[in-house]
Structure 1
Amino acid sequence: MNDTRRAVLERLAEGPVPGPDVADDLGVSRNAVWKHVEGLRGSGFDIESSDDGYALEGIPEYGGPAVEFGLDAPFSVEYHDAVGSTNDRARELAAEGAEDVVVLADEQTGSRGRLDRAWSAPSGGVWASLVLRPDLPPAHVPALTLAAAVATTDAAREAGVPAEIKWPNDVLVGTEGDRGGRKLAGILTEMEGEADRVSWVVVGIGVNANIPVDDLPEGATSLREEVGEVDRRVFVQRLLERFDDLRGDPESAVEAWRERSATLGQRVRVERADGEVVGEAVDVAFPGSLVVETDEGRVRVHAGDCEHLRPV
């Protein structure tokens, strides 16, 4: 949604307001106002016309313009009913120079997780990839993954789901008395840059939102399963707003991650490319390394698959 259309929509939300008044306020022609009104109607906004002018009576349930309306964060949204992979599309946009764009889809038909693992992404979920150009050295980019996990967890908690984070990028429900918990969301971050400069970062976030649990892999859960149907528009807005708060201060994102962690204090096994690390997870160090207390001393793990173990 461009700036003029957004401004027209904001004026109609205060309506009823005559079209000529909107045109004068925004410095555009009356015909331009009419075209924007028709464009908004085409996007699903319920705009009534009367002798008093235009008035916004209803907003779409979901979609790009719906998420952008009332969003208190500087993102534009490209929405798809279905797309192969939001991360793939986000990388295309990044290569074209895009910034602060969210690729959002109702369904992904070719989605993937870490290490190219299959990821179920049926209709009703929140499948979003953020195109970013952060002023960060490449070594600090993992903090954005943690920020996304915090933002997702906080949006889930606002919806009534007691979510927690398993290092580094899984959002879980029901970790107490359950070593792994049920997976609610996952995050996949991709980056392009040079040794001292980031060109772009794509943060992919997948949330099992309004999906029946029978349509999900074993061990997964959804917002719908936990608390019933949620307003995905509001959920995405809260997630993006929280992420926007955190991305400018990566160290605060790491601290917020600690406070929402399901991993710290757990006995863990982390599979790395060069072998496994087993011990107690005692901290997460900036920009996102897991600190594990092993029999041989403390080890910092920068990447790997983490499994929560039963206490010895």
Structure 2
Amino acid sequence: MNETRRRVLDALADGPVTGPELAERLDVSRAAVWKHVEALRDAGFDVESESGGYALGGVPDYGGPAVEYGLDAPFDVEYHDAVPSTNDRARELATEGASDVVVLADRQTGGRGRRGREWSSPAGGVWMSLVLRPDLPPARAPTLTLAAAVAVIDAAREAGVPAEIKWPNDCLVPGDGERGGAKLAGVLTEMEGEASRVSWVVLGVGVNVDVDPGDLDGDATSVRAEGGTVDRRAFVQRVLERFHELRERPDAALDAWRERAATLGQRVRVETGSGAVVGDAVSVTEYGALVVDTADGEQIVHAGDCEHLRLAE
């Protein structure tokens, strides 16, 4: 949403306000005011024409302009009804020099998770990717993934779902699922940079929010299935706002992650490229790696598939 249209929307929210008053306040023509009002109506905003002028009667349930309206974080939103992958589109924007852009879609037709696994992305979920250019050394870039997971957990809890984090980036609702609980959300991070700096980071976030239980696969769950408050616009805004609070505070993100982690204190098996690591998950390093106390001593695991076996004794 361009800045003038944003200012028109803010003025309408305080309305009613006449076209001439808007034109004078914003230093644009009356024709430009009319075009902005019509564009807002096309985007789904209920702009009423009253005797005293224009007034905002309602906000659309979802979409780019709806998320940007009232968002207390400096992100622009590019919205799609459907897209093969929000991460693919975000990567295109990153290579073009974009920053602080959120690619948001009602559904993905070719979504994927870690290691290229297919990620089901039906309508009703939150499928988005953030394009970032962080001022962080590459070694600390993984804390952005942790910050995103914390943001999703906090949004889910505010919606009434008692979610927790399974290392490194899965958001679960505690239960008896085969992998330690029912999966609510996941975070997929892609990065490009050099040894001394990060060029860009793309954070893909997929959350089952208003997804019918019948459309969920395996051990997956959704905010709707858990009886939480279903408001995708508010959910996205809360995730973005919370993430913005943490993204330049890696130590705070790490502390918040630890407080919300279901993995710490668990007996785990982590499948890595060089074999399985089995032991008690005791900590997470400042770089987001999992510290596992095994029969052969502590091992630091930087990546892998983690399975909760039982509470550590």
TM-score range, shorter chain: over 0.9
In structure 1, what is the equivalent of residue 215 of structure 2?
Answer: 215
Structure 1 unaligned spans of 5+: none
In structure 1, what is the equivalent of residue 12 of structure 2?
Answer: 12
Distance 1:232 1:35 in 2: 28
Three-state SS of the structure 2 residue aligned to 1:192 is strand
Give the conservation status (yes or no) of the 8 Å contact 2:127–2:207.
yes
Distance 1:23 1:176 in 2: 60
Q: Which amino acid aligns with 2:97?
A: G
Deviation at 1:50, TM superposition (A): 2.0
Give the conservation status (yes or no) of the 8 Å contact 2:177–2:219.
no
In structure 1, what is the equivalent of residue 115 of structure 2?
Answer: 115
In structure 2, what is the equivalent of residue 92 of structure 1?
Answer: 92
In structure 1, what is the equivalent of residue 266 of structure 2?
Answer: 266
Distance 1:286 1:175 in 2: 29
Distance 1:297 1:280 in 2: 10
Distance 1:179 1:275 in 2: 18
Q: Which amino acid aligns with 1:65?
A: P
Deviates further, 190-199 or 66-75? 190-199
Structure 2 unaligned spans of 5+: none
Deviation at 1:51, TM superposition (A): 2.3
Give the conservation status (yes or no) of the 8 Å contact 2:159–2:229.
no
Deviation at 1:194, TM superposition (A): 1.1
Deviation at 1:176, TM superposition (A): 7.5
Q: Which amino acid aligns with 1:11?
A: A
Deviation at 1:177, TM superposition (A): 9.2
Give the conservation status (yes or no) of the 8 Å contact 1:66–1:233.
yes
**CA RMSD of the aligned region, Å?**
1.3
Deviation at 1:309, TM superposition (A): 0.6
In structure 2, what is the equivalent of residue 138 of structure 1?
Answer: 138
Q: Which amino acid aligns with 1:149?
A: A
Q: TM-score normalized by structure 2?
A: 0.97
Deviation at 1:175, TM superposition (A): 4.2
Distance 1:77 1:178 in 2: 36
Distance 1:232 1:83 in 2: 18
Q: Which amino acid aligns with 1:51?
A: S
Give the conservation status (yes or no) of the 8 Å contact 2:161–2:228.
no
Superposition pairs of residues 55-134 of structure 1, within 5 angstroms: 55-134=55-134
In structure 2, what is the equivalent of residue 3 of structure 1?
Answer: 3
In structure 2, what is the equivalent of residue 205 of structure 1?
Answer: 205
Three-state SS of the structure 2 residue aligned to 1:111 is coil
Q: TM-score normalized by structure 1?
A: 0.97
Superposition pairs of residues 113-262 of structure 1, within 5 angstroms: 113-175=113-175, 180-228=180-228, 230-262=230-262
Deviation at 1:173, TM superposition (A): 0.2
Give the conservation status (yes or no) of the 8 Å contact 2:193–2:199.
yes
Give the conservation status (yes or no) of the 8 Å contact 1:210–1:229.
no
Three-state SS of the structure 2 residue aligned to 1:226 is coil
Give the conservation status (yes or no) of the 8 Å contact 2:269–2:278.
yes
| CA displacement, residues 93-119 of structure 1 (integer Å, 9 cap, x when unaligned) | 111111100000110000000000011
Deviation at 1:310, TM superposition (A): 2.7
Distance 2:233 2:239 in 1: 10
Deviation at 1:281, TM superposition (A): 0.5
Distance 1:32 1:269 in 2: 61
| CA displacement, residues 153-181 of structure 1 (integer Å, 9 cap, x when unaligned) | 00000000000000001000024897610
Distance 1:177 1:23 in 2: 58
Distance 1:175 1:229 in 2: 20
Three-state SS of the structure 1 residue aligned to 2:124 is coil
| CA displacement, residues 122-152 of structure 1 (integer Å, 9 cap, x when unaligned) | 1110001000000111111110000000000
Give the conservation status (yes or no) of the 8 Å contact 2:160–2:229.
no
| CA displacement, residues 9-57 of structure 1 (integer Å, 9 cap, x when unaligned) | 0000000011111121222222111111110001000001122110000
Deviation at 1:89, TM superposition (A): 0.4
| CA displacement, residues 250-270 of structure 1 (integer Å, 9 cap, x when unaligned) | 111010000000000000011
Q: Which amino acid aligns with 1:83?
A: V
Distance 1:216 1:20 in 2: 51
Percent identity of equivalent pairs? 71
Three-state SS of the structure 1 residue aligned to 2:269 is strand
Aligned residues: 312
Three-state SS of the structure 1 residue aligned to 2:226 is helix
Three-state SS of the structure 1 residue aligned to 2:281 is strand
